[in-house]
């Protein structure tokens, strides 16, 4: 992921000078400074509990992303059924539709649980920071 940062004119001039003195490009120097600062902040100033909470928050986010991919798969299936019916074909058997509905209900419950866990983790993180 690419991020852009804005500097004041004075800070930009300072960056140009210290980067030149270091024999580095301004971008490389700035990236190194930011990385070192973030690493020190992450490892030094953040409480262990906050680091753990952030790790859990990232994991919970990944779970929600995986669930979103499952929702997309269900959506594709629904589109295929609709396309099939729109060209004049018959609906799939009722048992097939009931199974799809059941799978969708289970997915809804999993999503609800994952979002609740994400909210709980975010609240815990806010309390620790």
Cα distances from 81 to residues 27, 71, 74, 99, 105, in angstroms, run 52, 15, 11, 14, 18
Query: Which residue in 100, 123, 118 sits closest to 63, CA to CA?
Result: 118
Task: Tell the burial category of 53 from Cβ atoms under 10 Å away from its Cβ (0-12, 13-18, 19+).
Answer: buried
Residues of the chain with pLDDT under 50: none
Distance CA 71, CA 63 (A): 12
pLDDT attached to residue 42: 64
pLDDT of residue 6: 84
Provide the whole-model pTM: 0.50
| pLDDT at position 46 | 55
| pLDDT reported for residue 109 | 92
């Amino acid at each position: 992921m690419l991020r852009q940062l804005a500097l004041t004119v004075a800070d930009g001039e300072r960056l140009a000078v210290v980067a030149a003195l270091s024999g580095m490009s301004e971008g490389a120097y700035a990236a190194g400074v930011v990385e070192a600062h973030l690493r020190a902040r992450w490892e030094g100033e953040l409480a262990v509990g906050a680091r753990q909470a952030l790790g859990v928050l990232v994991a919970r986010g990944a779970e929600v992303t995986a669930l979103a991919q499952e929702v997309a798969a269900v959506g594709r299936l629904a589109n295929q059924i609709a396309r099939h019916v729109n060209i004049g074909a018959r609906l799939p058997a009722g048992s097939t539709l009931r199974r799809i509905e059941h799978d969708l209900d289970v997915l809804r419950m999993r999503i609800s649980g994952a979002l609740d866990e994400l909210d709980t983790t975010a609240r815990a993180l806010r309390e620790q920071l």
